[in-house]
Amino acid sequence: MATLPVADRDTREKSRFVCCQARPTLGNNTSTLFPSWVPKTILKGIRLIKQLVVNTIERYARYKIDKNLNLQYTDERKYPQPDPTKSYLLYLHIPFCKVFCPYCSFHKYNFDEKKAREYFATLRKEIRIAKERGFRFSSVYIGGGTPTILPDELASTIDLVRELFDIDELSCEADPDISDALIDLLKERVDRLSVGIQSLDDKRLEQTKRCNKFGTADEQVENIKKLIANFKIVNCDLIFNFPDQTAEELREDIQKLKALSPQQISMYPLMYSPSVRKEIETNMGAVQNKKEYALYKVILDELGSDYVQNSCWAFSKKGITLIDEYVVDHVEYLGLGSGAFGFIDGTLYINTFALDEYKQRVDSNQFSTARHKSYSPKEILSYRLMVDMFGFGFSVENLADRYGAHAKKKLAIELFLLKLFKITDKNYQLTTFGKYIFLILMKEFYIGMDYVRETSREGIDRFGFLKK
Ligand SMILES: C[S@@+](CC[C@H](N)C(=O)[O-])C[C@H]1O[C@@H](n2cnc3c(N)ncnc32)[C@H](O)[C@@H]1O
Ligand code: SF4
């Protein structure tokens, strides 16, 4: 089986360097945090120190994440046999979109109905392979691309998963192109529908090329109302820190969404992966992070009273259990479908991105893993520390229970630094500054994942097939 070429190191260095041009700065509003009698030079000093901490952490994270996401290509390494005592999370990927948004570097190809139907059929075969191998799942996350692109195929796939496994919760991503027929088909099948709104400002929807696709902000408001009336849990994604976005514009976006009262809101910082940076700059303007922290504080301020914060970027109404991104909530997950990630038994796997290769593998009764990397116990521990902190699930008391008797000792330096730089308080609860730091870390992690996607797509055409 042909494997895809490993990325040329120079190209990688160059593209990562481009990404490093926009360093976050903390803006000039530190003064609002302190009484007016605190001398300006002290405020300036505090700002500079915080800036230095942010820059150092970001550089270090970028270095570590790059190193740790250097997945090897392989024909050999397949998902291991499941542990019969465990129930894993199942992630399913649907890599098709009708039109691409300029900021998005997720794994997707141009939609072609025939190919997409064939893909769904192959995915269902792969789900059956997982069942035959003995995997058990109680949670499912369906992401894209656009999982709702062929509603009948999505419904059949969900029905199969529910028939084969005892599923407690199923979460599915959607774009705002949602008809009444789609709602009828999915409302009983999906427990949580996560819809990408990105903004409720017409100017922003034009800029992100979503207005033509999904309608004006007013039309989307009507859509969201219908979804809320029909689904158990609706999550709405907004993106913040668009190049020309002001604090007032962000506040308005959040207030419009809050007025609709979705059960969950996810607030993603604009992620400018090397592969989309040029598109972002052409359509939206120069990427700049000077105001990111100030905008983040607007979010905490706006959502603080009505929503509980579940992670650095996810918020839910009081009393709603959050089904969040699979990387945050689940230690181990099986990824099925082209380009899906899975993490099992200390190894990260990624499936082939080429749709023809994907079908061939599955047709010969194999999983479609194409790259993998195994991690040491210490590396896994550091990764879990990042994810637990990001998802507010860290507690020093639980360290030994969750990760073994020596976990606290192994993480001693990290835990010391968290307190030293006021990222956490003495009980390891994140400060506002700490939440922002972990938002940056997770953003870097996603940008790193995008880089893996970008290199995995080399040699594949826009419909997902290996170039001849
Ligand atoms: C992979 S998309 C799938 C959702 C669906 N296709 C849609 O467009 O509504 C999931 C979410 O990722 C977020 N996303 C995609 N690209 C992003 C970027 N460059 N920066 C921040 N968030 C991004 C968006 O908020 C989007 O709703
Ligand atoms: S944001 Fe959604 S619709 Fe737009 S390209 Fe990404 S996955 Fe496709």
Ligand nearest 240 Cα, by number? 1
Ligand nearest 208 Cα, by number? 2
Residue nearest to atom 27 of ligand 1 (CA): 196
> At residue 30, does pLDDT exceed 70?
no
The full DSSP string for 224-239 is HHHHHHH-SEEEEEEE
Ligand nearest 270 Cα, by number? 1
pLDDT of residue 329: 56
> At residue 8, does pLDDT exceed 60?
no
Question: For residues 460 and 215, what is the distance between their CA atoms, to the nearest angstrom?
Answer: 31
CA of 176 to the centre of ligand 2 (A): 11
CA of 328 to the centre of ligand 1 (A): 17
Q: Is 241 in the pocket of ligand 1 (CB under 6 A)?
A: no
> At residue 16, does pLDDT exceed 60?
no
Q: Is 240 in the pocket of ligand 1 (CB under 6 A)?
A: no
CB-based contacts of 403: which residues, under 8 Å, 6+ apart?
A: 381, 384
> At residue 67, does pLDDT exceed 90?
no
Selected residue with higher pLDDT from 43 and 189: 189
CA of 192 to the centre of ligand 2 (A): 19
> At residue 452, does pLDDT exceed 90?
no
Residue nearest to atom 24 of ligand 1 (CA): 196
Ligand nearest 108 Cα, by number? 2
CATH topology of domain 88-328: pyruvate-formate lyase- activating enzyme (3.80.30)
Which ligand 1 atom sits closest to the C-alpha of 195?
9
Selected residue with higher pLDDT from 133 and 418: 133
What residues line ligand 2, using a CB cutoff of 6 Å? 97, 100-101, 104, 106, 108, 144-146, 175, 196
List, by residue range, all CATH 3.80.30.20 domains of the chain. Answer: 88-328
Selected residue with higher pLDDT from 413 and 161: 161
pLDDT of residue 77: 66
Q: Is 173 in the pocket of ligand 1 (CB under 6 A)?
A: yes
CA of 60 to the centre of ligand 2 (A): 30
> At residue 32, does pLDDT exceed 50?
no
Q: Is 299 in the pocket of ligand 1 (CB under 6 A)?
A: no
Pocket test for ligand 2, best of 101, 199, 211 (most atoms within 8 A of CB): 101
> At residue 426, does pLDDT exceed 60?
yes
pLDDT of residue 36: 67
Q: What is the pLDDT of residues 368-405, one digit of tens each?
A: 999 999 999 888 888 888 888 888 888 877 777 777 77
> At residue 37, does pLDDT exceed 70?
no
Residue 126 contacts residue 162 (beta carbons within 8 Å): no
Torsion angle, CA of 319/324/327/328, rounded to 10 degrees? -30
Q: Which of 175, 180, 292, 174 is nearest to 229 (CA)?
A: 180
Residue 100 contacts residue 86 (beta carbons within 8 Å): no
Which ligand 2 atom sits closest to the C-alpha of 104?
6
What whole-number percentage of the chain has pLDDT above 90? 56
Collapsing DSSP to helix, strand or coil, 391 comes out as coil
Confidence at 18, pLDDT banded by 50, 70, 90: very low
pLDDT of residue 10: 32
Q: What is the pLDDT of residues 308-328, one digit of tens each?
A: 999 999 999 987 765 555 455
CA of 312 to the centre of ligand 1 (A): 16
CB-based contacts of 213: which residues, under 8 Å, 6+ apart?
A: 98, 99, 175, 177
Q: Is 214 in the pocket of ligand 1 (CB under 6 A)?
A: no
> At residue 21, does pLDDT exceed 60?
no
CA of 256 to the centre of ligand 1 (A): 19
Which ligand 1 atom sits closest to the C-alpha of 269?
21
Selected residue with higher pLDDT from 325 and 173: 173
Q: What is the pLDDT of residues 257-287, one digit of tens each?
A: 999 999 999 999 999 888 898 999 998 888 8
Collapsing DSSP to helix, strand or coil, 151 comes out as helix
CA of 213 to the centre of ligand 1 (A): 15
Beta bridge partners of 72: 372
Residue nearest to atom 2 of ligand 2 (CA): 145
Confidence at 295, pLDDT banded by 50, 70, 90: very high
Confidence at 13, pLDDT banded by 50, 70, 90: very low
Q: Is 448 in the pocket of ligand 1 (CB under 6 A)?
A: no
Q: What is the mean pLDDT of residues 354-380?
A: 93
pLDDT of residue 76: 67
Pairing of strands 369-374, 72-73: antiparallel
pLDDT averaged over every residue in the chain: 86
Beta bridge partners of 349: 342, 372
